[in-house]
Amino acid sequence: MSDSPIAVEPHGPELHGPELHGPELRHHFADVEQQRDAASLGMWLFLATEIMFFGGMFCAYLVYRYWHFHEFAAGSRSLDIYLGTINTAVLICSSLTVALGVRAAQMGKQKLLVVYLLLTLVFGLAFLGIKGKEWYDKYKEHHIPGASFNADDIVKEYPQIPINQQSEQTYFSLYFAMTGLHALHMVIGVGLFSVIAYLAMKGRYNSHYYTPVENAGLYWHFVDIVWIYLFPLLYLIDRKPLK
């Protein structure tokens, strides 16, 4: 029906109701297909605003990295690349379970859907746990910007790199702002998926109606994409051997 978006002839309430098309179809849509396309378009509009939201931070990052490249390179070296890589892998796994979960919903396999939703929650929480460990390490090293910030250890470790401690704080400010905003999105995603997993357990979704699963999935994939860029930009600025 998507080629005739406004579709149907004018008609009264006698042609509507659960008997004719199931309770999931809203009155103003021609069919379930059109309703789903509209929901997904709305979700993408929201994600477009999210792209601009994160875009401001990426822009600030670019400008300061251009101005203080040495400090950004040294700060990047001080991050734990192994935990960063593992976290990237964890998020990619969670994206797979989301995609397979939406597929299970499309096929009406309700139990499988619940399994994939719970797996997604496990991966999401694992990501937040590893991120928390990394932040705690930075706290212990006095790398959190503020009164107790101290990058003497980085200066000592990389004598070849000219480091200004003020600019080093700029790197860590952006590091915490960007990973923090991303982690906030992860926390919201985990909350979202908890509700959807609960509703899926109660049998709320079937092959005709799974819009919340699909749209929450789009959100989760978006948050994954943000991390796909944050990982090289924060962890891999300059890892090559120093001369």
Partner 1 sequence: MSERILSSKLYIGIWATLMCLTVITAAVSFIDLGPFNTVVALVIATVKASLVILFFMHVKYTHERMTKVVIVAAFFFLLLLLALSMADYTTRFLA
> Which residues of this protein are in contact with partner 1, per CB under 8 A?
2, 33, 36-37, 40-41, 44-45, 47-48, 51-52, 55-56, 58-59, 62-63, 66-67, 81, 84-85, 88-89, 92-93, 95-96, 98-100, 103, 106-107, 214, 217-218, 221-222, 224-225, 228-229, 231-233, 236-241
Q: Residue 238 Cβ, how far from partner 1 at the closest point, in Å?
A: 7
**Residue 36 or 138 having the CB closest to partner 1:** 36
Q: Residue 7 Cβ, how far from partner 1 at the closest point, in Å?
A: 14
**Residue 15 or 51 having the CB closest to partner 1:** 51
**Residue 144 or 175 having the CB closest to partner 1:** 175
Q: Residue 229 Cβ, how far from partner 1 at the closest point, in Å?
A: 5
Question: Do residues 243 and 81 make contact, with C-beta atoms less than 8 angstroms apart?
Answer: no
Residue from 76, 124, 74, 68 nearest 96 by CA:
124
Q: Residue 122 Cβ, how far from partner 1 at the closest point, in Å?
A: 16
Cα separation of 98 and 117, whole Å?
7
Question: Do residues 151 and 143 make contact, with C-beta atoms less than 8 angstroms apart?
Answer: yes
Q: Residue 201 Cβ, how far from partner 1 at the closest point, in Å?
A: 22
Cα separation of 77 and 72, whole Å?
9
b/e per residue 39-68 (b: at least 16 CB within 10 A): beeebeeebeeeeeebeebbeebeebbeeb
Question: Do residues 87 and 131 make contact, with C-beta atoms less than 8 angstroms apart?
Answer: yes
**Residue 177 or 218 having the CB closest to partner 1:** 218
Amino acid at 218: L
**Residue 7 or 48 having the CB closest to partner 1:** 48
